[in-house]
């Protein structure tokens, strides 16, 4: 049995597309807003006090910019991992989120937009990443800078829940969620 690992899940700061109410998914280029940089800086200070031994970030710009604040506060180098990207929404990315409530079937874990990925696929991607992390942990306390749906998937995997039972609440921008895995 592997030793438990503490995960510190940092949700990226507010991006320009968050502020505009646009569906981001895996769109790589939306940067943080001034508020997003402030949120990232506050999260970085909180993170440094929790003493992570490794810092891994999604490779999408909003997460990388947040991770740069975390790196400055902790002194840790940033490693990026595509597995920590947000759920892909394909052709829906860039559209106003409010328009999508009648288009997206939020209750069906196997539903995916054209060119996107389902919650089940997101859950599987995250489960594989966490299994690898447990097999080869870079530290006892690992900070992951990532996205709202990805954090919900991590929470489900850590709790032994499937994609159909992911938590409904998305952590706010610039927040840190702590949990144990590999127990």
CA 52 to chain centre: 17
- Partners of 61 in the β-ladder: none
pLDDT higher than threshold 60 for residue 176? yes
Predicted pLDDT of residue 94: 97
pLDDT tens figures, 122-163: 999 999 999 999 999 999 999 999 999 999 999 999 999 999
* Mean pLDDT, rounded, for 20-37: 97
Pick from 27, 9, 6, 5: which is nearest to 18 by CA?
A: 27
Sheet holding 176-181, edge to edge: 78-80, 54-57, 141-146, 5-11, 176-181
CATH T-level topology, domain 5-181 = Rossmann fold (3.40.50)
Predicted pLDDT of residue 2: 64
Predicted pLDDT of residue 154: 98
Whats the size of the chain, residue-wise? Answer: 183
pLDDT higher than threshold 60 for residue 1? no
Q: How confident is the model at residue 33 (pLDDT cuts 50, 70, 90)?
A: very high
Mean of all residue pLDDT scores within the chain: 96
pLDDT higher than threshold 90 for residue 35? yes
Q: How confident is the model at residue 3 (pLDDT cuts 50, 70, 90)?
A: confident
* Mean pLDDT, rounded, for 3-31: 97
* Mean pLDDT, rounded, for 47-59: 98
pLDDT tens figures, 77-119: 999 999 999 999 999 999 999 988 888 887 899 999 999 999 9
d(CA 151, CA 144): 9
pLDDT tens figures, 55-66: 999 999 999 999
Predicted pLDDT of residue 127: 98
* Mean pLDDT, rounded, for 29-56: 98
Catalytic residue annotation: 12, 86
Domain range summary for the chain, segments of one domain joined by +: 5-181
* Mean pLDDT, rounded, for 8-15: 98
């Amino acid at each position: 049995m592997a030793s438990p690992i503490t995960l510190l899940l940092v949700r990226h700061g507010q991006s320009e597309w968050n502020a505009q109410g646009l569906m981001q998914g895996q769109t790589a280029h939306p940067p943080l807003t001034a508020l997003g940089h402030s949120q990232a800086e506050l999260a970085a200070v909180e993170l440094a006090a929790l003493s992570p031994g490794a810092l891994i970030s999604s490779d999408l710009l909003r997460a990388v910019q947040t991770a740069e604040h975390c790196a400055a506060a902790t002194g840790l180098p940033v490693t990026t991992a595509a597995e920590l990207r947000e759920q892909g929404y394909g052709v829906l990315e860039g559209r106003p989120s409010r328009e999508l409530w009648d288009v997206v079937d939020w209750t069906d874990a196997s539903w995916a937009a054209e060119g996107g990925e389902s919650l089940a696929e997101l859950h599987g991607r995250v489960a594989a990443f966490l299994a690898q992390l447990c097999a080869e942990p870079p530290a006892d306390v690992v900070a992951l800078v990532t996205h709202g749906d990805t954090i919900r998937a991590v929470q489900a995997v850590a709790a032994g829940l499937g994609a159909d039972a992911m938590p409904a609440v998305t952590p706010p921008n610039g927040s840190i969620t702590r949990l144990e895995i590999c127990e």
